[in-house]
């Protein structure tokens, strides 16, 4: 295969500065210890505790990793207080406005925006690897018609490791490059199969003369009996949504990809684990939950206050889906862009979706409510994305699949960075809270 310009020779950036004048002091049991402070290229700071246990016998504990930096990464920067999100230094606002999803994928994976020649080669490689092995179809055909598309997606991506067994073990740069292209090219093809099956329609083959988003839309919506013309408004909206989802530093699914990959598991298995992690309703699965929640509010007479009250009542077990974020404590810049895009897309397509009004009402009520203000809970990327997906004709149970297609370049970039930086196997420690050592009692003697 053609190597993609000079992309493979790019070395990952590493702007980490270690200033020995910046030391954190810790006093434990009357003894003083010193630990270096690390500063990133956007001045965020960390205490390097990698020698803590060796020196003191203590570990740190941080359930949910709220305060733990798992890695140094040169891919994505986000500042939750200021609402900043940059991919490789470029702001999400600029990229969403001026770039394309594949260009952003290239940027994330190889570290720089491509030249025209590099991009043409990259796109060509992807276009010519969209076809999926027919034996994968046989596996797919064994899934029940009502299987959730996320379960199918993660299974089939995992199955790719059986179709490309050379991904196991040490891979040359060229072999890894081919696996990356295969993932980017085939994920949309596989993703459309579940929808087609759910409709009782034959699956469509990719059309290599179409661009990435148009090809996906064509595989979703064209029928053997009628030609499907890709609406440029729909294709542009999809392009924007995919860019907004393309990476988000060390979130749950990305950390999963890096952790699984740190055992040197192959790229397909690592990405498949990421897809499974994304499916959860607290992560990417929230976009499906949001629309179902908005529909429920509509069916219940549109009383948004009732649902705000329920979300505030801890005993209800109900959360306002699409609200709150582990890192963003001011606003989610992706949500701002998506909210505006939802308005634009619905206007351009002439769609009047009553749940958009409910979403706006709910957002306004929550942002004025002391509970949400105090806890800094704002709409996140999932709050308005479903409304756009719906306007594009994507069914609700495919929303998280759309998130996965968008996040794929981020997962790949993070997996690649982790392997190139030769990161050690991920293996957190714990504080044991079970029974202390005790003697085994024979079953016949147990009471």
Kindly list the residues in this chain that would bind ligand CMC in the complex (CB under 6 A): 64, 248, 251, 282-284, 286, 311, 319-326, 375, 377, 380-382
**E strands, 280-379, in order:** none
The residue among 86 and 251 lying less far from ligand CMC, judged by its C-beta, is 251
Strands (E), 9-104: 17-28, 31-39, 45-47, 76-79, 84-87, 90-91
Is 245 marked active-site? no
Q: How far is the CB of 100 from ligand CMC (least distance, A)?
A: 22
Closest by alpha carbon to 243, among 101, 385, 376?
101
Q: Which residue's beta carbon is nearest to the bound ligand CMC?
A: 324
| Active-site residue (options: 209, 325, 369, 439) | 325
- Please confirm, yes or no, whether 325 is among the known catalytic residues: yes
Please report, for residues 71, 192, 325, 357, 387, the alpha-carbon distance to residue 321 in angstroms, rounded to integers and kept in the order given: 29, 26, 11, 16, 14
Cβ atoms of residues 184 and 416 within 8 Å: no
DSSP secondary structure letter of residue 169: S
Residue whose tokens read 């891919």: 75
Whichever of 85 and 377 has its CB closer to ligand CMC, that residue is 377
Main-chain phi, psi angles of 168, to 5 degrees: -75, 150
The residue (of 110 and 323) whose beta carbon lies closer to ligand CMC is 323
Complex with ligand CMC: residue 319 or 361, whichever CB lies closer: 319
CB of 248 to ligand CMC, least distance (A): 6
Q: Which residues of 175-206 are buried (b: 16+ CB within 10 A; e: fewer)?
A: ebbbbbbbbbbbbbbbbbbbbbbeeeeebbeb
Residue closer to ligand CMC by CB (options 110, 384) is: 384
Q: How far is CA 227 from CA 48, 150, 220, 230, 234, in A?
A: 59, 28, 12, 10, 16
Q: Which helix (H) or strand (E) holds 406?
A: helix 399-420
Q: How far is the CB of 321 from ligand CMC (least distance, A)?
A: 5
Q: Which two tokens stand for residue 89?
A: 């230094």
Active-site residue numbers? 325, 382
């Amino acid at each position: 295969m053609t190597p993609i310009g000079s992309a493979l020779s790019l070395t990952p950036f590493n702007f980490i500065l270690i200033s020995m004048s910046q030391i954190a002091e810790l006093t434990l049991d009357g003894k003083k210890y010193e630990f270096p402070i690390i500063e990133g290229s956007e001045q965020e700071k960390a205490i390097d505790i990698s020698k803590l246990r060796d020196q003191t016998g203590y570990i740190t504990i941080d359930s949910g990793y709220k305060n733990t930096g798992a890695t140094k990464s040169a891919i994505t920067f986000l500042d939750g207080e200021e609402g900043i999100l940059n991919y490789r230094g470029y702001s999400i606002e600029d990229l969403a406005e001026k770039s394309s999803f594949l260009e952003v994928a290239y940027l994330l994976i190889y570290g720089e925006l491509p030249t025209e020649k590099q991009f043409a080669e990259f796109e060509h490689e992807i276009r010519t690897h969209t076809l999926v092995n027919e034996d994968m179809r046989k596996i797919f055909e064994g899934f029940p018609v009502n299987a959730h598309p996320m379960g199918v997606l993660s299974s089939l991506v995992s199955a790719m490791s059986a179709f490309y067994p050379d991904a196991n073990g040490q891979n040359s740069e060229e072999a890894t490059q081919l696996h990356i292209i295969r993932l980017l090219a085939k994920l949309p093809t596989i993703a459309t199969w579940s929808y087609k099956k759910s409709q009782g329609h034959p699956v469509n083959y990719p059309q290599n003369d179409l661009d990435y988003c148009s090809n996906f839309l064509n595989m979703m919506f064209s029928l053997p009996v009628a030609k499907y013309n890709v609406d440029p408004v729909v294709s542009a909206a999809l392009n924007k949504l995919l860019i907004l989802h393309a990476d988000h530093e060390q979130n749950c699914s990305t950390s999963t990809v890096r952790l699984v990959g740190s055992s040197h598991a192959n790229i397909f298995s690592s990405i498949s684990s990421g897809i499974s992690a994304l499916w959860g309703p607290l992560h990417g699965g929230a976009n499906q939950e949001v629309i179902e929640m908005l529909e429920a509010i509509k069916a219940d007479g549109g009383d948004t206050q009732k649902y705000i009250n329920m979300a505030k009542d801890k005993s209800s077990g109900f959360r306002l889906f699409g609200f709150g974020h582990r890192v963003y404590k001011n606003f989610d810049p992706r949500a701002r862009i998506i909210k505006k895009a939802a308005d634009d897309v619905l206007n351009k397509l002439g769609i009047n979706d009553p749940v958009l009004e409910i979403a706006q009402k709910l957002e306004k009520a929550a942002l004025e409510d002391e509970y949400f203000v105090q806890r800094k809970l704002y709409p996140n990327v999932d709050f308005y994305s479903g409304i756009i997906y719906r306007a594009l004709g994507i069914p609700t149970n495919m929303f998280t699949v759309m998130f996965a297609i968008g996040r794929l370049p981020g997962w790949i970039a993070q997996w690649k960075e982790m392997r190139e930086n030769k990161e050690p196997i991920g293996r957190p420690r714990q504080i044991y809270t079970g029974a202390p050592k005790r003697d085994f009692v024979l079953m016949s003697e147990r009471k």
